[in-house]
């Protein structure tokens, strides 16, 4: 193919169907993450619509959306440590303002947020996020993406300088034909 063709627009309905298929065991989690990762940066409204629909779905099916309650104390600390580990292992993607949204993908959890509302998705259940947590997780998504972009820019600059250095060295070693 000689021409770049725009990627097909992913709809909120397609995302919802894929998420439901994953949670029903009919599709791998990678199908969801690949679909979300392919969503262009200017289509945050699609992810926002998906989050809204997932929240409606969670409220309509409370047994699906409720996490199992745990006792206080040591179990709470174990849960905190588990969440810390999940967040430290996350990869992130952020969609642009004004329809900003973010995605965190960890080994066991998929988190979608738009800063006001969000959902935590696992294969066996889904849970709505409070708005304060959604805002914090949105900032985390944006911070991870900005940090990665800064690292990428630095590496690109280093590679560019290496190429310049190697080109000038190799060009100076070429003998002139007379």
The answer as to whether 94 is a domain residue is yes
Per-residue pLDDT of the chain (178 residues; tens, 9 = 90+): 434 445 567 889 999 999 999 999 999 999 999 999 888 888 899 999 999 999 999 988 765 444 444 445 566 677 777 777 777 777 889 988 778 899 999 888 899 999 999 999 998 889 999 999 999 889 888 888 888 888 888 887 887 787 777 666 555 566 667 6
The answer as to whether 40 is a domain residue is yes
The answer as to whether 134 is a domain residue is yes
Query: Is the pTM above the cut of 0.85?
Result: no
Q: Quote the CA–CA distance of 147 and 122 in Å, as a whole number.
A: 26
The answer as to whether 177 is a domain residue is no
Alpha-carbon torsion angle 65, 47, 5, 30, nearest 10: -30
Phi-psi sector, 150: left (phi>0), alpha (psi -120 to 50), beta = alpha
Q: Quote the CA–CA distance of 128 and 14 in Å, as a whole number.
A: 20
The answer as to whether 86 is a domain residue is yes
The answer as to whether 18 is a domain residue is yes
The answer as to whether 172 is a domain residue is no
Q: How many domains does the chain have?
A: 1
Q: Quote the CA–CA distance of 155 and 175 in Å, as a whole number.
A: 32
- Domain membership of residue 155 as a residue range: 12-64+82-167
The answer as to whether 174 is a domain residue is no
């Amino acid at each position: 193919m000689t021409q770049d063709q725009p990627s097909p627009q992913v709809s909120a309905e397609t995302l919802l169907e894929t998420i439901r298929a994953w949670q029903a065991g009919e599709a791998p989690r990678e199908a969801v993450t690949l679909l979300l990762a392919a969503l262009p940066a200017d289509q945050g409204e699609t992810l926002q619509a998906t989050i809204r629909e997932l929240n409606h779905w969670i409220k309509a099916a409370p047994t699906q959306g409720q996490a199992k309650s745990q006792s206080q104390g040591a179990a709470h600390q174990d849960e905190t440590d588990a969440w810390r580990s999940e967040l430290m292992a996350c990869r992130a993607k952020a969609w642009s303002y004004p329809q900003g949204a973010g995605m965190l993908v960890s080994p066991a959890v998929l988190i979608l947020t738009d800063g006001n509302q969000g959902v935590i998705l696992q294969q066996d259940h889904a849970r709505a996020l409070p708005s304060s947590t959604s805002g914090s997780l949105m900032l985390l998504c944006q911070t991870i993406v900005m940090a990665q972009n800064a690292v990428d820019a630095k590496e690109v600059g280093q590679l560019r300088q290496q190429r310049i250095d190697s080109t000038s060295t190799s060009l100076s070693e070429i003998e002139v034909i007379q």
